[in-house]
Structure formats: structure tokens, C-alpha cells
Structure 1
Amino acid sequence: MKKKMTAALTVFAVLGGMGTGVYAGSNLQEIKAFLNPGIKFKMDGQPVQLKNSSGAVVAPITYNNTTYLPVRAVSDVLGVTVNFDAAANTILLGEQTKGVSIAAGFDSSYHTKDPDKTVYKDKDYKDVHFDNGSGTRGSSFMLYPNKKYQKLYLQVAAIGDDIEDFSIIDSDTDTVLKKQNITAQEGLVTIEANIAGVSKLYVTGEVKDGSSVFIPLTTSYYQ
């Protein structure tokens, strides 16, 4: 339903908060248009306000009997990620065609590139989160997609015993985006979560004494 709605919308602004330099060299045409703050919006029957990236309310523009909507504000309401490729002068909606590894900027106390810890089932993943701590514990770390991506594909393996209540949580709203148990017998599993519009993720799971959490950063990615 959301994809159909997105396709039906005529969009005007590219990204809220962009500087005018983004448009340098583009084929702009000057027009006379009107802000139309009288138009109201509903999403699935519920009233919503269109806002820019700074949280300010924005109004649609009417030009030649057509209403143009700011794509950033509309995509936030629909839960569709929007980015701008300046080099190609192209708006990117939804999943990106190429995945972006979560390794860049990753930080946790169990982040390691030690070859003695990055190998799982005879494959060296080079860069991993490997929690081999002691005692029954919560194993967790943060990710910062900064609203740039639609999906997260996170690879996880439970070593020794199962990981219970493995959860991917929107840290700003405390909303659980994905939750499942991971058994040691499954091997390396891929967990998919919709992260459109999410700035910060809290990833956590319950680990038993003598067990470890193995997450290869090079094969876990945003899209």
C-alpha cells in the first residue's frame, strides 16, 4: 500500500536541509508558485503533518493546478527512505541497490580484527563483533544508520548455546523492530529489519554463561 501511495505522489523538494549548492549546474526553471498550507493530510485515516528534516512543518506548493509535495516529508510519513546522489543528480527512494557494510564506524567493547577471533566455520570474516564474555549476560551494541537506509541485514551466530530474545530496537522510540531467538544449531543466520526513518539502533540479546555471540561486520549491511 505504501509503495502504491509513493508512486502516486508528485514530488517537489529533494531533501530537507539541503544547501543551494546542491542545485548548482542543474536545469532549473523559474516559476511562479504558491504555498498551500490549507491542504491537510491523513495517513491510514489518521491526521499527519509534513515536516522537514529539522522538524518544522512544511506546506505543499500549488502550480498550474498541480500540488507538489516535499519528498523528504512524504517519505518520512510513508516509512520510505530517501537519499540524494549528488554526483548523479538523482533522488534515491527505498532500498539502495548496493549494501553498505555496518563495519564503518562500528564501535563496541567486543569489536575485533584478531584472526584468532574472526573465523567461524573455517571462514575468516576479518572484522567482527565477537562477545565471548563470561557469565550469563546481555550482549549489546549500537548502530547509527542516521535515517539513510531502508533495511538492515544483520548476520548472527550463537556459539555454545542459544541467544534468547535477540532484538533490534529503534533507540529513539524504544520500538522493537525485530525480535527472535537464535539457536546454536542454525549456524550463521541473517536477520532482516525495516529501519526506514531510524537514526539509532540498539541491538541486544541474552547470552548464557560459556556461550558467545559472533556477528561478522563485513557481511552485515544496510540497504
Structure 2
Amino acid sequence: MKNKLAVTAIGAAMVLSMGTGVFAGANLQEIKAYLNGSITVKYNGSPVQLQDEQGAVVLPITYDGNTYLPVRSIAKTLNVAVNYDGATNTVLLGEQIEGVALAKSFSDSSYHTKDPDLTTYKGKDYKDVYFDNAKSTRGSSFMLYPKGKYQKLVLQAAATGNDIEKFFVQDSDRDIKLKITTIAVAEGLKTIEVDIAGVDKLFVHADIKGSGGLFVPLTTSYFK
């Protein structure tokens, strides 16, 4: 069944809520519009409440016979990632062409390292990695924070020493596993893709046996 969005209005368009700082020097035209609390929005037949990033209720705006809905709220309802590039005044919906490497924001774990003795895998130095190389059977995990801005996580991971028989990526807020897989040593660097639209926080976990390890290059793993 296709996802449908019904809006009880003459027409519909979408606008992105942005901080006042982005308006400096922008090509803006002043208009007279109205907040319209009589508009009802339904998604797949069920009423939805439009909210901003902080959870406050937002109303549609009516102007010149058209109704404008906040794009961030609609994107959240449709489970589509949304972001704003202030440098180019561009609204980014869905999967982005250019990936954003995890190395740009990763700072979660004691196993995060840039030590050249630890960041090299099969002859290639990845410069910035998560490498759990402890020597006992254990759970190894870290957090990622896409903050609802991305559609997909592309994660590269390798098992060292012993196969990893359980590896998963979980929506931390909803406690839902988005991907469950295994990583064999023989697979080398495995690419794992996870749909993360609308997800704020991710919990990444591996069960490691004995002296096995988990190697995740943060320069080639990315959000998009």
C-alpha cells in the first residue's frame, strides 16, 4: 500500500522551519499569511499532529489560497530524512548524494583510535577507526547520532581473530533492531547498509568471542 498524505486544503506546499540567523542576506519577500488551526492532516487515514524539532505543535500557514506545511514535520511523518545546508540555502530530503563520514562526529568509545599501529587493516591505513581488540569474550558497542538528518547508514566492519556471530544496529529511542547480521573473518571488510530515516540515536553492538576483535573504519563508514 502506498503511503499517502491527505491535507484538507485547497493546495499544499511545504516550508522548512529555520533559525533566524539563516535569513541574513537571503532573497526574501514579505507577505501576509495566516496560521490555520482548522487544517487537519491525515497520514494513511490517521490524523497526525505536526510538531517541530523540540516537540512543540506547529500549525499550517495559509497564503493566497494555498496551504503551506512545515517540511520538517511532514518529513518526520513520512519517515523521510530532512536536513538544511545553510551554506547553499538548500533543503535536503531523503538520501544525500554525498555521504558524511562517521569520523566527523565519532567520539563515543575508548576503542576509538587514530594510532597508526591500530588503524591499518589488510595493508590499508584507515586513519580513524573503532577497534575493539580486547582479549576476552565480551559485548562491544558504541553510539551514533544521526539526529534524524539522514536516510541511510553505510557501515563497514571487519571481524578479526574470530567470527562475529551476532552484530546489530538498533534504534536506541524505540528499542528496535534495524539490522541483525553476522561478520565472518573470511568476509574481510563487510559493508552493512541500514535504513535510518527519522532515527535520532543508534546503538551498534557486536558479541565477540575470546581474542576476536571488531574493526570499524570511521573514514569509509558514513551517513547519507
Does TM, scored on the shorter chain, surpass 0.5?
Answer: yes
TM alignment of 1:13-32, pairs within 5 A: 14-15=16-17, 18-32=18-32
Within 5 Å, give how 1:1-223 maps onto structure 2. 1=2, 10-12=13-15, 14-15=16-17, 18-107=18-107, 108-223=109-224
The normalised TM-score by structure 1 is 0.90
**TM superposition shift of 1:9:** 5.5
Unmatched 5+ stretches in structure 2 = 6-10
Mapped to 1, the partners of 2:197 and 2:205 lie a distance apart of: 19
CA shift for structure 1 position 104 = 2.2
Secondary structure of the 1:210 match is: coil
The separation in 1 between residues aligned to 2:45 and 2:184, in whole angstroms, is: 41
2:113, 2:22 → 1: CA distance?
38
Q: Whole-Å Cα distance in 2 between the matches of residues 208 and 51 of structure 1?
A: 45
Distance 2:21 2:115 in 1: 44
Aligned residue pairs, count:
217
AA matched with 1:52 = D
The DSSP-based 3-state class of the residue aligned with 2:22 is helix
SS at match of 2:147: coil
The CA deviation string for residues 106-136 of structure 1, in whole angstroms up to 9 with x for no partner, is 2311112222221211211121111111221
Query: What is the TM-score normalised by the length of structure 2?
Result: 0.89
* Superposed CA offset, 1:145-172 (max 9, x none): 2222221111001112221221111112
Determine if contact 2:12/2:67 at 8 Å carries over to the other structure.
no
For 2:25 and 2:135, how far apart are their aligned partners in 1? 58
Secondary structure of the corresponding residue to residue 92 of structure 2: strand
Q: Aligned partners of 2:59 and 2:100: how far apart in 1? A: 33
Paired amino acid for 1:98: E
Structure 1 stretches of 5 or more lacking a match?
none
Q: How far apart, in 2, do the equivalents of 1:76 and 1:138 lie?
A: 32
Q: Between the two proteins, what is the percent identity of the paired residues?
A: 59
Checking the alignment, whether the CA contact within 8 Å between 2:126 and 2:217 is kept in structure 1 is: yes
The answer to whether the 8 Å contact 2:12/2:66 transfers is: no
Give, in angstroms, the shift of residue 209 of structure 1: 0.7
Q: Partners in 2 of 1:211 and 1:20 — Cα distance?
A: 51
> What SS does structure 1 have at the residue aligned with 2:13?
coil
Q: Distance in 2 between matches of 1:117 and 1:176?
A: 29
CA distance in structure 2 between the aligned counterparts of 1:191 and 1:75, rounded to whole angstroms: 25
4+ residue runs over 6 A deviation: none
